[in-house]
Amino acid sequence: MSDPAAIKVREIRELIVRHKRWDVIFSVVGVISLMIGVLTFVTLFLDMLIDGAPRLTWDFLTSFPSRKPDQAGILSAWVGSVMVMLVTICTAVPLGVGAGVYLEEYAPGNWVTDLIEINVTNLAGVPSIVYGLLALGLFVYQFGLGQSVLTAGLTLALLILPVIIVATREAIRSIPAAIREGSYALGATKWQTTAHHIIPYSLPGILTGVIIGLARAIGETAPIITVGALTFIAFLPPAPLQTDPPFVSFEWLLSGFTVMPIQMFNWTSRPEAAFQLNAAAAGVILLIMTLSMNALAIYIRYRLRKNIKW
């Protein structure tokens, strides 16, 4: 008759081996899935780069759109994208982080808070065209902001606001309770604990949500078309900085505009092959802008994580 202890040990070993086998299978599936996504992205990017490489010149970056494909450029498009994203960042990031901090640290636990949380989570999955229709009725017609940079920036801010709120809350939840307890034990108030401990420690996670939101916003087309972005524009908005007092101008906020996705859509809708090459070149520039913006945020997140001492 077998020893019960030996049987138990053998069963445990078999269980460990079986679990290790599943770990290996999951790792292989994960690597394959990752490589499929990465290789697909690299293939599409290389194809777009090969098509658009002849048009990636300084004149292409500094020229306005034209009916002649060899003379067309993206000056008004990339300048408009930068201005729209500036409004989006200045609006969505403070509001999103502030709302997330309030809901997680200050909001009372009642049905109103629960209702807000449910709606914020659901809004993160609403199609972007719905935000465009909302902005058209609210910002364009109700507030009279017109088809302007400000309207587009506020529209994209509404679009990514739920993403930033959810990411902020998740980042705050990941902070150990011992940090709060230690701060309160030393006599800190709730605001001091939040400002000096909770927010600094959760900033890397918050920046992750900001990166995801901004990457989505810079490539959106539907809400921008809905609020009246121009498909052909041969001028730049007024400069924010001027040489005359008061040296700062806000006229650019109410100026007409276009953005990179709109310009690409305009070119791809034309039958001439030369315009398709222009669209490919513009896609490469847009991707570089997105990766650069994300790289800066990732670097800031890395520095913040490096300086955090638990």
Count other Cβ atoms within 10 Å, centred on residue 151. Answer: 26
Q: For 119-149, what is each residue's pLDDT tens digit?
A: 888 887 788 888 888 888 888 888 888 888 8
More confident residue, 250 or 94: 94
In a 13 Å sphere around the CA of 283, the CA atoms on its Cβ side amount to 22
More confident residue, 21 or 43: 43
Amino acid 267: pLDDT: 86
What fold, for 59-307? MetI-like fold (1.10.3720)
Distance of CA 151 to the CA centre of its chain: 18
Q: Mean per-residue pLDDT for 274-278?
A: 87
Amino acid 307: pLDDT: 67
Q: How far is residue 123 from each of residues 108, 131, 159, 168, 287, measured CA to CA in Å?
A: 21, 10, 8, 15, 26
Q: Residue 2: pLDDT above 60?
A: no
What CA–CA distance (Å, rounded) separates 113 from 164? 17
Q: List the domain boundaries for the chain.
A: 1-55, 59-307
* DSSP codes joined into one string, 100-127: HHIIIIIS-SSHHHHHHHHHHHHHTTS-
Q: Residue 94: pLDDT above 80?
A: yes
Contact 289, 218 (CB under 8 A): yes
Q: Residue 289: pLDDT above 80?
A: yes
Amino acid 290: pLDDT: 84
Q: Residue 57: pLDDT above 60?
A: yes
Q: For 44-55, what is each residue's pLDDT tens digit?
A: 888 888 888 888
Question: Which of 8-12, 93-97, 210-214 shows the lowest mean pLDDT across its residues?
Answer: 8-12
Amino acid 308: pLDDT: 63
What CA–CA distance (Å, rounded) separates 172 from 101? 8
Q: How confident is the model at residue 90 (pLDDT cuts 50, 70, 90)?
A: very high
Cα torsion for 34, 39, 41, 44, to the nearest 10°? -160
Say how many Å lie between the first and final Cα of the chain, rounded: 55
Q: Kindly give, in sequence order, each residue whose CB lies less than 8 Å from that of residue 234, ignoring residues fewer than 6 positions away.
A: 64, 65, 76
What CA–CA distance (Å, rounded) separates 301 from 131? 29
